[in-house]
């Protein structure tokens, strides 16, 4: 549970950083346009590189979490060349969107199968407890009353 919360917070921080970067570069572009600065293409290139950096960080974090979950549930990680991409910045391979989608689908299937297994056991246990309660109630109803105490 804490792993999921840590992951969510890390992704949230990266998304916030991405939003702030977009706003900062929008201001820079507006200032460059107003002043007639010819470096507009440089600003756009820098923005693209910084956003790519943040996107790679998010992709690596997501891939690591999905691979940890796959190891926990003993699910094979996709190995296809279309499922992985290498970060030019970090030099680390991470799952593409399609690879992450495949792995998430496999994880959901396994989690549902495990939940269904335990759900049937719990409902069976509830039925058994109900039957035992009914038998106890019937026995209590037909039991002769206790004699009064004097």
Distance CA 104, CA 82 (A): 16
Q: What is the pLDDT of residue 1?
A: 66
The rounded mean pLDDT for the chain is 91
Per mean pLDDT, which range of 38-42, 59-63, 73-77, 120-124 is the poorest? 38-42
Residues 6 or more apart from 54 whose CB is under 8 A from it?
A: 14, 17, 18, 21
Residue 74 has pLDDT above 70, yes or no: yes
pTM of the predicted model as reported, rounded to 2 decimal places: 0.75
């Amino acid at each position: 549970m804490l792993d999921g919360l840590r992951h969510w917070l890390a992704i949230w921080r990266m998304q916030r950083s991405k939003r702030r970067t977009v706003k900062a570069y929008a201001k820079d572009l507006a200032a460059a346009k107003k002043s007639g600065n010819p470096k507009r293409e440089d600003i756009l290139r820098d923005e693209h590189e910084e956003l790519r950096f943040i996107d790679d960080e998010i992709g690596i974090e997501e891939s690591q979490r999905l691979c940890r979950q796959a190891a926990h549930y003993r699910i094979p990680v996709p190995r296809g060349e279309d499922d992985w991409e290498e970060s030019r910045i970090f030099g680390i391979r991470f799952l593409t969107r399609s690879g992450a989608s495949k792995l998430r689908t496999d994880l959901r299937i396994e989690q549902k199968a495990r939940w269904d297994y335990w759900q049937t056991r719990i409902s069976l246990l509830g039925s058994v407890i109900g039957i035992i309660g009914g038998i106890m109630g019937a026995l209590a109803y037909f039991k002769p009353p206790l004699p009064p105490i004097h």
